[in-house]
Structure formats: C-alpha cells, structure tokens
Amino acid sequence: MSDVLVLGGYGTFGSRIGRALAKDGLGVIVAGRSAERAEAACRQMTAESPGSSVRGVAFDLHRDLPEQLERLKPSIIVDTCGPFQERNYDAARACIAAGVHYIDLSDARKYVANFGQLDAAARAAGVLAVAGASSVPGLTSAVADRYRGEFGRIDSLTVGISAAQRASGGLATAQSIASYVGKRLAPCPGYPVRYGWQGLHRVDYPGIGTRWMADCDVPDLDLLPDRYGISSIRFSAGADNLLSHFGIWAFSWAVRLGLPIDPGRHGRLLAASYNAMKPFGTLESAMHVILRGRDREGWPHERRWYLVAREGDGPNVPCVPAILLARRLATGKMTLRGATPCVGLVSLQDYLAELAGFRIETLTDAKTG
C-alpha cells in the first residue's frame, strides 16, 4: 500500500485531501508542527474510514523534511503548506532526491511558472513533481481545454474566484494576499500595469448575485497565454463580505502609497481581521472562467463557465487535482515523470466527477455572433 505524506495535513485543504485518500484505502500520514492537531485529524479520518491506515507526525517542514522522508518512507508527498510566495524548491528537491513523488497546491505566480527547472532532476529520479495542483492553474486550464475546440482563435481569458468567508481564510491565505497587495504586479498580456487588489469591478454569479472583485497575482497569468495563444488575460478574486473586500482594498492603497508595511506581520493582522468578519460572510463560493474570441467560422464567440459552491463546500474545489494525481500515482495509473505546473493534467470531466458528492454546481452558456 502506498503511503501519502500530507504536509499541513490538518489544515483547511490538507485535511480534506487526507480524508479523500484514506477513503480510497491509501495509507495517509498527517504531518504538521502540532502533534496534537495531527492526531485529532487522524481520529477524524479513522472515524470516517474505519480500517484505514492513518497516522500523525509532527516536524518542521523547512528543517526536518529530508530526515523524515528517510524515516517515514512515503511514496508520495502532498504539500499544502502555504504561503508559497516566499517558498523555494527545497521541499520538492528533497522529494526528488529521495525518489518520492511531489505535489503541491501553490498559487504563487513565479514559483509555479518556473517549476519546470526541476524537470531534468525529476526525470532522472523517475518521479513526478507537480506545482499548482489547485484551482489555479489546474481547474482554469481544465475549463479552457474543455471549450477550446469551439474556437478558431481565443483572444481573451478572464478568471475569478469569490471565496465564502465563513468557509475559508487562514494565516497562509492572508499572508499570500499580503505578499502582493498594493504592489505593482508583473505585466501580463492585455494588462501591462496592475496593482494587487486594485482594479475593482463586479461580477454577477448565477444564483448568488453580484460580488466585488480585484486584481490578483496567480500562475495562470504567465502559463496560459502561450498555451492558448491569447492576447489578454485577467485574474481577480474577492471576499464575499464588503467590509472585508474594501478593507483589503484600503490596505492595498497603504502599500501602494509607500507606508511602512511588513507583509509577515501585517499578514497576521489581515488574517485576524478577516476571521473577525467571518460571521458577516456567507457559505457560498463561486468561480468564473470566460473565453472570448472567434469561432471556427470566424464569428465572434464567447463561452462563460461558472462554478457555485454552497453550504461551505467551496474549499473542496482546490483539493481535487492533488487528490486525483496522488490517487493515480498510488495505483500506477499515471506514468508521467518530470517536473511540471498543473496545466492540462486533469480533465474537467474528472474534476467535476470528484466533486459530485458536494453541494457544488456548474453552469455554462455560449454566445456567437
């Protein structure tokens, strides 16, 4: 039986990934700095999946990973320990050196876009290393791949995620946002000048209404233009609570105007304020992917795709690529080797099949001419 070591295995995403893999009958090792929280997560997994092989360990990822790989001997690692904006590739390199498959949920733009530099080492070691096994770019590329056949030419891709505040949020997420809020972002096709959490605009989501959005920095901005030949790409995110959303927007102006901001310290303050506002948020998350261009006969064509998650089920969406890839590696159904961003590795059909048991629905419409 393959053992999957889940780093951050008792967190928002790690716990969901661990539970899904334990239900598959895989051995799951829940890892984090807290032995007590790891053991609590294991008890929950065992209760949900009686007879499953689950155990907890406590160690510091940044200091002890090579030693723990030697001691625990997992076949696969799933790394959920954000924020990845300040992370290097030490964990991935340690796994490659130990002959262990590596999957992470990074949404850090440079980290994921440059991950291919590990490809030769991963191929030589006979392992697969994947960065960004999450909603972005995993689900974004799955949607674009599903509908690209309708187009003779895709001109623009617009993507956005509005999180349910009562179901999400944590220190790592807040520190991730704080790392680029108010800062000038690297240019991308169609948007040469952007600042983190600015460019305010609204999006109408079917069934849940209008949400405010703002520009964010994600790997898709670098990875997808070449893949689809597009000349314009935009990614935005938003909090469902107006006070939280515009509070972060005000914070972005403090950074942009040059006030002394420490991303680490203020990331904690951002997380504290975000969590304090949770009672005023909702349990409904949403995502949109909009492709515009020309159909195969040259007519203007637009495809809109929406995902709406209700009753707090939104955090299950980012977990799907890691679950599918770990499952396929453990069962020998995935033979790909090397190091790659999670682009085109998971089909939309498989993605949605994994979400079938949750209160999640998708809607799509097209307009031609």
Using CA atoms, how far apart are residues 76 and 102, in angstroms rounded to an integer? 6
CB contact set of 95 (below 8 Å; sequence gap of 6+): 69, 77, 101, 102, 127, 129
When pLDDT is cut at 50, 70 and 90, the band that residue 277 belongs to is: confident
Looking at the predicted structure, is the pLDDT value of residue 267 above 90? no
**Tens digit of pLDDT for each residue in 174-188?**
778 888 999 999 999
When pLDDT is cut at 50, 70 and 90, the band that residue 269 belongs to is: confident
DSSP H stretches of helix in 99-214: 109-113, 119-125, 140-147, 171-178
The two tokens of residue 321 are 């690529």
Q: State residue 275's pLDDT score.
A: 76
CB contact set of 120 (below 8 Å; sequence gap of 6+): none
- Whether a cis peptide bond, with omega within 30° of 0, leads into 341 is no
DSSP H stretches of helix in 49-83: 61-72
Q: State residue 1's pLDDT score.
A: 52
When pLDDT is cut at 50, 70 and 90, the band that residue 55 belongs to is: very high
Q: State residue 179's pLDDT score.
A: 85
DSSP 199: S
**Tens digit of pLDDT for each residue in 284-328?**
999 999 999 999 999 999 999 999 999 999 999 999 999 999 999
Using CA atoms, how far apart are residues 352 and 233, in angstroms rounded to an integer? 24
CA dihedral 251, 254, 255, 259 (to 10 degrees): -140
* CB neighbours of residue 63 within 10 Å: 9
Residue 334 backbone class (left: φ over 0; alpha: ψ -120 to 50; beta: rest) = beta
Looking at the predicted structure, is the pLDDT value of residue 228 above 60? yes
Q: State residue 175's pLDDT score.
A: 76
When pLDDT is cut at 50, 70 and 90, the band that residue 173 belongs to is: confident
Residue type, 362: T
The two tokens of residue 63 are 């200091």
Cβ atoms of 158 and 302 closer than 8 Å: no
The two tokens of residue 297 are 């006969």
User: What is the pTM for the complete model shown?
Assistant: 0.95
Angle at 8 between CA 96 and CA 285, to 5 degrees: 115
CB contact set of 310 (below 8 Å; sequence gap of 6+): 283, 284, 359, 360
- Bridge partners of 363? 306
Using CA atoms, how far apart are residues 188 and 314, in angstroms rounded to an integer? 28
DSSP secondary structure string for all residues of 239-259: ESSHHHHHHHHHHHHHHHTT-
Q: State residue 165's pLDDT score.
A: 84
Q: State residue 156's pLDDT score.
A: 98
CA dihedral 204, 207, 209, 212 (to 10 degrees): -60
Sign, Cα dihedral of 90, 176, 80, 130: negative
The two tokens of residue 80 are 């959920």
The percentage of the chain sitting over the pLDDT mark of 90, rounded to a whole number, equals 84
Measured between alpha carbons, how far is residue 228 from residues 10, 208, 224, 292, 297 in Å? 37, 30, 6, 11, 18
Using CA atoms, how far apart are residues 99 and 103, in angstroms rounded to an integer? 13
**Euclidean distance between the first and the last CA atom of the chain, given in angstroms as a whole number:** 54
Nearest alpha-carbon partner for 131 in 198, 77, 207: 77
**Tens digit of pLDDT for each residue in 78-134?**
999 988 988 999 999 999 999 999 999 999 999 999 999 999 999 999 999 999 999
When pLDDT is cut at 50, 70 and 90, the band that residue 264 belongs to is: low
**Domains along the sequence of the chain with CATH:** 3-135+315-354 (3.40.50.720), 136-312+359-368 (3.30.360.10)
